[in-house]
């Protein structure tokens, strides 16, 4: 059974870069799409970006090009970098898998990691 | 961007009663719709995909009707473990978008 675990600093200063890692266990990252999704406290869900192990990526235009995602097959990890953060980026950040271009529902999800942006 | 609108925002239901949740898309998403359940302090869990296909482990009391722009998630007889927030998500077009959620609470 595939399991996902997000990790990274819980506090980031404004204008700096948020960096998170998603470690996948119980299966390979190869052949699947891996997404980042966030949820501000008490609010709804926002898709951020995805990456396929072959390097294909896409990001939500709402993030205005601030997102970089990467995949490391040797470590079975997916990474997210979000630059120039502000308080509006404070959220629970989740990684999740989807199967393919016609099957873009998310399953499973990691437990999430809370990131606060504050000086 | 396809805007997903869920209603009501909060639904108060007694255990054993039926709950009906609505999800509306700003343009047709065909059957490319998923539903998730989120309990406090937990990540969302996939319930339904392709508009009406139950994910592994989703009880039969969860059903969905609709296609295009109007979808309804029905929980036929609410159990204690069903009180949660429910989100719909379209995957017909980029960016992938979610509705604002419906909280199902105990009446």
**The predicted structure's pLDDT at residue B17:** 97
Residues in A touching B91 (Cβ below 8 Å): 98, 103-105
- Give the pLDDT confidence of B63-87 residue by residue, as tens digits: 999 999 999 999 999 999 999 999 9
- Give the pLDDT confidence of A11-35 residue by residue, as tens digits: 999 999 999 999 999 999 999 999 9
Residues in A touching B101 (Cβ below 8 Å): 44-45
Is the bond preceding B95 in cis, omega lying within 30 degrees of 0? yes
Please give the full DSSP string across B3-43, using - where no structure is assigned. Answer: -EEEE-SEEEE-TTS-EEEEEEESS--TT-EEEEEE-TTS-
Please state, in angstroms and rounded to a whole number, the distance separating the CA atoms of residues B58 and A101: 23
Residues in A touching B88 (Cβ below 8 Å): none
Averaged pLDDT score across all residues of chain A: 96
Please give the full DSSP string across A68-114, using - where no structure is assigned. Answer: EEEEETTTTEEEEEE-S--GGG-EEEEEEEE-BTTB----SB---EE
Confidence at B35, pLDDT banded by 50, 70, 90? very high
Q: Which of B43, B91, B101 sits opposite A111 (nearest CB)?
A: B43
Is there a contact between B99 and B23 (Cβ–Cβ < 8 Å)?
yes
- Give the pLDDT confidence of A46-100 residue by residue, as tens digits: 999 999 988 899 999 999 999 999 999 999 999 999 999 999 999 999 999 998 8
**The predicted structure's pLDDT at residue A62:** 97
The verdict on A93 touching B (C-beta cutoff 8 Å) is: no
Q: Which of B49, B95, B101 sits opposite A44 (nearest CB)?
A: B101
């Amino acid at each position: 059974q595939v399991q996902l675990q997000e990790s990274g600093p819980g506090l980031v200063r404004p204008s700096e870069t948020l960096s998170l890692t998603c470690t996948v266990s119980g299966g390979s990252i190869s052949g699947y799409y891996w997404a980042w999704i966030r949820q501000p406290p008490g609010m709804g869900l926002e898709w951020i970006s995805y990456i396929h192990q072959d390097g294909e990526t896409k990001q939500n235009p709402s993030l205005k090009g601030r997102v970089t995602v990467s995949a490391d097959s040797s470590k079975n990890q997916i990474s997210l970098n979000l630059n120039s953060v502000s308080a509006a980026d404070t959220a629970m950040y989740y990684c999740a898998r989807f199967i393919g271009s016609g099957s873009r529902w998310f399953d499973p999800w990691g437990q999430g990691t809370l990131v606060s942006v504050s000086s | 961007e396809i805007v997903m609108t869920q209603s009501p925002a909060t639904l108060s239901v007694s255990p054993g009663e039926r709950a009906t949740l609505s999800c509306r898309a700003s343009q047709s998403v065909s059957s490319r719709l998923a539903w998730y359940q989120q309990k406090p302090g937990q990540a969302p869990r996939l319930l339904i995909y392709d508009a009406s296909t139950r994910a592994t482990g989703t009880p039969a009391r969860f059903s969905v009707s609709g296609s295009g722009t109007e979808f309804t998630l029905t929980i036929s007889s609410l159990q204690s473990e069903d009180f949660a927030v429910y989100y719909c998500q379209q995957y017909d077009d980029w960016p992938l978008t979610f509705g604002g959620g419906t909280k199902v609470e105990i009446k």
